[in-house]
Amino acid sequence: MAQKRFTFADAKKRIKDLEASLEKTTSLLEAKLEESKQKAGNLILDTSDNVFTGKELKKIRFLELWAVLGPIAGIIIGLLF
């Protein structure tokens, strides 16, 4: 039985097929990532009405405070241990 040799042309064709598959998968993953970011943001704050309630404003203040204190706490803990 004679087997067909894997030629340079076959390799180029296979590479093009894999690149097309990768491009399709990448675009699908990017779309899902954007959707996930939107859902994660909506879990913390409801921005659909463009009005923040008192509870949401407290969350915003906490997140702003944590943005400053979190890294400071991390550095202190890192230095201690």
pTM: 0.43
* Two tokens, residue 66: 């944590």
State the DSSP H helix or E strand holding residue 73, giving kind and residue range, or none if neither: helix 54-80
Judge whether 45 and 52 are in contact, CB under 8 Å. yes
* Two tokens, residue 32: 């899902």
Express each pLDDT in 20-39 by its tens digit. 999 999 999 999 998 888 88
Average pLDDT (52-80) is: 89
63 closest CA partner among 81, 79, 40? 40
